[in-house]
Structure 1
């Protein structure tokens, strides 16, 4: 299950893979992908026979449905949205706790070794790298990638998903790691100690590595070991010839090389997960590639962001919701009934938490904790706490609770100077990447629980009986 092609066979088997032939790499491929995941029940799209390229393929939409995400996470391939959420409950904390039981397995052979190209001959544009959006500054090979780094002191391995633009006519690619992320911290420590930093990047792999690379795995836990805990088997890796870093042996395309403080190339803009192009063209670290590896007819794993819903917004919403709920329960907070990191906010900007309201101050406590938990702290903007009669995944119900159970003057707290990002469209050019966030108490006031007006809707059991009796009339 650590091989992308095995995963694709499974997805095709239950009817959620669509083959697309003849699309052009220059914005057309990206536009088809965008239109697809804006449709109900979007499919995974495997682009083949890409214009100008006799070989090489691109996959998009890998984690965009409950069935595909369930398969990716080893939870089953017959789930719907509700059963996926139920199956995920408690899993992130279990995976984090057991990750050390699944160390990577070093191997010496892999289909990835079918084609090995030394640095001087590397041309990333020999692969069908898309220009995803019309306003992008170039062709981005890194959207669903896994960038592998190592802490020079502790030897901890990290795998992050950072955007990467092809530069120098295919000989290099920039790595735009967000400051504060584990990979960026590793690189900075290497710079301070040795003046350069080793890096490995996989561009095509089992989507579980997109999941682990694109969400906040706890510090000190390797994303490769976390992926092993998810799948229940050790992830096989090759060791990079020049860097010694692990390369997923099931990868379709991988590179290794070195980042240096003085090796910078202009990068961007790029259509980001906030739904806006991020910034102007500016310098970013570029990789000195010492080796390229790829399978025959390789598959690039594309995960282009954009205005939600986008390629991986469903995955991030499901995963981060489970991580936030797990973290709140793990912190010892009583009465937590659910959490949802809404897709409209890219799985980060708008979080709703439901509680069984047990004591005065309970809602504020949960809201402030949720706003700053490691799983939610990066670029969060709104946390809304609601009563347990509200479905946190239903944005209509959450907004209704805000409108009817929240006094803006009393029930909204603003936290300033929190962890923002240069990707934030509200950030003024050149300003430090702080943001602020609102914690909104949309619960019935604790002291008025007994006297607060009753909700004017039917009893759920009675409504269910009426639905059964009048099913023909109420059918869609």
Structure 2
């Protein structure tokens, strides 16, 4: 595997495959970077690197869609694949298998390197000079409550006892040049660590790191078990530790190759209004919520730093590529650990992370004797719906492995022809829901409880009532199929 230790080498790799668009014309510093990034998602354009931001004294550049779907049609997940050190041609199952396999490897702790030569220390801003106004931080959407300083950066925090270091991605909105406010969800790991500092009555030290090695951003954006340090996971993925330096003002370590590092403390009360913000479900936000304040105390950065920008919305963006892959890997791992025979799974991008499709092998009845399909669906629902890391999933479709979960055409056909209008659905009526999901009523959001469902579409065993497909593969003798294939005209002959 070839891995990129910094963002710039990754951008060179994107450029080599034709998946990077350098925009040298002047771009405004308010809304245009968001609009460019959003259109790039919706047209599967190359990742836009905006190099000339109006009014930006530091020469800060903005990279849009850092892990979106690729412009190269034969390599749709090249950005995620390259980020993880895989070939640009890697498929969804290959990427998910890598995420699963890395979980089983022993982690590699980061290694401290000489801070004097670390790229992230090329420029150090303290006091009044440590201002967010020096950087190009645009609005993501026209109706957002503010400029979002963190959409693809890594937030680094540590439990008070120092035993758990969490690297994660969470949205953080700029309030002014010295303050930000971010979404701290209690069920997420950063929320659990923040609560420990709240109970101590001490503000939580943090570092917000922009422009990390792409694998660091990926690991920060996927669910890993509580207590697992994302930095150790990336070390296992790479086969060597991440190089870090000590933060300048707080007791944390940060990636040495980062583009920008912002340091400070997080308040112990929800004393600022965050939002609204357009989210991964595909709708513009209309509400704000009280969240803690992030103070800005010290900033360090590379020359002409690159600030990544993710603009969440209708599929497909990073929420529906990398995040969906991470949640799928988590779901498969949990189900297999529970002894369930899972062939594959996927969260279709078009579902905006609201569906999980799970397939099981034809012989699942032999592997789980005396188990009905309804009982299997029940067990899958209990595992997925009660995992903190998978709280975002409200619907599961359980299918036979003649359906490829990564092929939307297969999935739609299965849902249309195998979901009974009334029966064979397992309803979990009082499961946890959060406002980021977009399929519940106001009273359910207020209560934090709502229904989730598993659709059992499993067919009878082969030879016992299952109908064959009316398809080329199943509708004709093998010899005739081969004859047709042998005489099939090449594309150049058509």
Give the alignment's TM-score, normalised by structure 1.
0.91
Asked if 1:186 is matched to 2:182, the reply is: no
| Match of residue 25 from structure 1 | 29
Alpha-carbon separation, structure 2, partners of 1:383 and 1:153: 38
Report what 2:85 is aligned to: 74
What does 1:232-381 align with in structure 2 at a 5 Å threshold? Answer: 232-262=239-269, 264-334=271-341, 336-346=342-352, 348-357=353-362, 358-359=364-365, 360-362=371-373, 363-365=376-378, 367-369=380-382, 371-372=384-385, 374=387, 377-381=390-394
Report Cα offsets for 1:175-227 as digits up to 9, x if no partner. 21222100011011011113321111102212212211111011111111111
The answer (yes or no) to whether the contact 1:243–1:256 under 8 Å persists in 2 is yes
Change (3 A) 1:164 1:339: same
**Distance (Å, rounded) in 1 between the aligned partners of 2:490 and 2:388:** 45
Query: Does the alignment pair 1:399 with 2:412?
Result: yes
Contact persistence 1:328–1:370 (CA under 8 A)? yes
Following superposition, the deviation at residue 231 of structure 1 comes to 2.0
Counterpart of 1:384 in structure 2 is 397
Distance 2:31 2:248 in 1: 35
Comparing 448-457 and 19-28, the one that deviates more? 448-457
* Structure 2 counterpart of 1:8: 11
1:439 and 2:446 correspond:
no
Partner of 2:67: 63
Query: For the structure 1 residues 463 and 320, does the alpha-carbon distance in structure 2 shift closer, same or farther, using more than 3 Å as the test?
Result: farther
Unaligned runs of 5+ in 2: 71-76, 366-370
- In 2 relative to 1, CA 267–36 (structure 1 residues): closer, same or farther, beyond 3 Å? same
Cα deviation, residue 161, structure 1: 0.5
Indicate yes or no: 2:484 matched with 1:469. no
The Cα shift of 1:383 comes to 0.3
Comparing 413-422 with 201-210, which one deviates more in the overlay? 413-422
Provide the rounded CA distance (Å) in 1 between the counterparts of 2:372 and 2:482.
35
Q: Structure 1: where are the runs of 5+ without partners?
A: none
What SS does structure 1 have at the residue aligned with 2:442? coil
TM-score by length of 2: 0.88
What is the rounded CA distance, in whole Å, between the counterparts of 2:359 and 2:173 in structure 1?
Answer: 40
Instruction: Indicate if the aligned counterparts of 1:96 and 1:221 stay in contact, CA closer than 8 A.
Output: no
Aligned partner of 2:231 in structure 1 is 224
Whether the aligned pair in 2 keeps the contact of 1:99 and 1:228 (CA below 8 Å) is no
Equivalent-residue separation in structure 2 for 1:475 and 1:190 (angstroms): 69
Root mean square deviation, CA, Å: 2.4
- Whole-Å separation in 1 of the counterparts to 2:487 and 2:411: 30
Q: Which residue of 2 aligns with 1:134?
A: 142
113, 118, 133: which is aligned to 1:107?
113
Tell me by how many angstroms 1:328 deviates: 2.3
Residue 280 of structure 1 deviates from its aligned partner by 1.6
Cα deviations by residue, 1:420-468 (Å, 9 ceiling, x for unpaired): 222233352771333421100011146x961233322222666575355
1:117 to 117, 125, 129: 125
Instruction: Tell me the CA shift for residue 257 of structure 1.
Output: 1.0
Output the CA distance in 1 between the equivalents of 2:95 and 2:211: 25
Partner residue, 2:43 = 39
Aligned to 2:54: 51
Q: Contact 2:327–2:390 at 8 Å: present in 1 too?
A: no
How far apart, CA to CA, are the structure 2 residues paired with 1:29 and 1:463?
Answer: 51
Q: Residues 107 and 14 (structure 1 numbering): CA distance in 2 closer, same or farther, change over 3 Å?
A: same
Structure 2 Cα separation of the partners of residues 320 and 464 of structure 1: 39
